Amino acid sequence: MRVFIEGTPQDSQPIRGLPRETGAAFLLPDKVESAHYGLYTYLLLAARPTPATKQKYEEFIGAFLAMVPQLARLEHHVRPSELNAAYLPVTRPPPETLSVEDLRSFLLVHYDYARARVILRAVRGVHRDGPYIVSTLSPVTGDVEIGDPCIQQDLTLFPVPVIQRVVREFLIQAAQDRPHDTRLLPQLVLGMQATVHVLAQARPDLQRALRDWIR
């Protein structure tokens, strides 16, 4: 038996660029997500910054601010079903007059760590530091476990110089028609970059230890 499938001219039109565009929005305590977007992304910090994590958190928030345009502005040009709403939970909205550097510090101080913990409770696994990026097809409301398909990126072990590349790769993946299909090669490259950076940072200590062992 032979089966022939024919499409109409409408079906054969090529997709222009990526199927989905990401827009940034602040998720305030008295607000809930709109229910008409194509994808929902949450940028989550599991705990307040420590001396060991503060620089990474600042780099994470800075990359988010630099790469993602405002969701409200994109809505004037892109259909909601083609938007990925990327939310940063905060306890209060930032003043519009802040510089980029001051805005990054403000958001870290006024980040809604309690709400981030509630969202992370719905994600499978243990989450203690972060940063984490979680994307789902439906908004996260209440204490409900997030099922598949779900994209989750754990940035806990990535060093600061690699954070911006990880965020960029995640945005590319979230823009795909099937965002839950992992782009394995870029993920492998990022993992190698992180490993090389950690080893390079540890090299002086390893050399000293080796000299001591030889002596």
The answer to whether residue 66 sits within a structural domain is yes
* CATH number of residue 113's parent domain: 3.40.30
The answer to whether residue 171 sits within a structural domain is yes
Identify which of 2-16, 90-104, 123-137 has the greatest average pLDDT.
90-104
- Read off the pLDDT of residues 71-117 as tens digits, 9 standing for 90 and up: 988 888 888 988 999 999 999 999 988 888 899 889 999 999 999 99
The answer to whether residue 12 sits within a structural domain is no
pLDDT range class, residue 58, cuts 50, 70, 90? very high
The answer to whether residue 5 sits within a structural domain is no
The answer to whether residue 127 sits within a structural domain is yes
Q: Is the pLDDT assigned to residue 17 strictly greater than 80? A: no
> Bridge-partner residues for 23, per DSSP?
85
β-pairing verdict for 150-154 and 132-136: antiparallel
Q: Please provide the average confidence, as pLDDT, over all residues in the chain.
A: 77
Q: Give the chain's domain count.
A: 1
The answer to whether residue 14 sits within a structural domain is no
pLDDT of residue 108: 92
The answer to whether residue 11 sits within a structural domain is no
Q: Residue 109's domain spans which residues?
A: 21-181
Report the pLDDT averaged over residues 48-57: 91
Q: How many Å apart are CA 193 and CA 165, to the nearest integer? A: 10
Q: Is the pLDDT assigned to residue 206 strictly greater than 70? A: no
- The model's pTM is 0.74
Closest CA to 84 of 17, 135, 121: 135
